[in-house]
Homo-oligomer: A and B are copies of this chain.
Amino acid sequence: MLTSVYISFPFVSGAVEVSVRSPFACWFSAMLYCFGGSVLSSLMLGEPPVAFLEKNTNILLASSVWYLIFYCPQDMFYRCFAFLPLRLLVAGMKEVTRTWKITAGVAHADSHFKNAWLVMVAVGWARGAGGGLISNFEQLVRGVWKPETNELLKMSYPVKVTLVGAVLFTLQHNQYLPIARHNLMFLYTVFLVVTKVTMMLTRSATSPFAPIEAALGHMFFGMQQTPSKVKGESAVSSNGSSVCEQSSSGQHRDGVKKRQAKKTE
Which residues of A are interface residues toward B (Cβ below 8 A)? 10-11, 13, 16-25, 28, 42-51, 53-54, 56, 59, 67, 71, 73, 75, 78, 82, 109, 112-113, 116-119, 122-123, 136, 140-145, 147-150, 152-155, 217, 220-223, 237, 246, 248, 252-253, 256, 259-260, 262-264
Contacts of A47 in B (CB 8 A): 46
Q: Are B119 and A153 in contact (CB under 8 A)?
A: no
Q: Which residue of B lies closest to A144 (CB)?
A: B147
Q: How many Å lie between the Cα of A25 and that of B221 in the bound state?
A: 13
Q: A16-B259, A119-B53, A220-B71 are in contact. Are A45 and B44 (CB under 8 A)?
A: no
**Majority secondary structure, A binding face:** helix
Q: Are B118 and A56 in contact (CB under 8 A)?
A: yes
Q: How many Å lie between the Cα of A154 and that of B141 in the bound state?
A: 11
Q: How many Å lie between the Cα of A46 and that of B45 in the bound state?
A: 9
Q: Are B116 and A152 in contact (CB under 8 A)?
A: no
Q: A10-B263, A256-B17, A264-B13 are in contact. Are A154 and B53 (CB under 8 A)?
A: no
Contacts of A148 in B (CB 8 A): 143, 145
Given contacts A43-B49, A82-B263, 7 further A-B contacts (CB under 8 A): A20-B246, A22-B153, A45-B50, A46-B47, A48-B112, A53-B122, A56-B117
Shortest distance from the beta carbon of A158 to any chain B beta carbon, whole Å: 15
Contacts of A152 in B (CB 8 A): 22, 24-25, 28, 141
Q: How many Å lie between the Cα of A124 and that of B71 in the bound state?
A: 28
Q: Are B155 and A150 in contact (CB under 8 A)?
A: no
Q: Are A46 and B49 in contact (CB under 8 A)?
A: yes
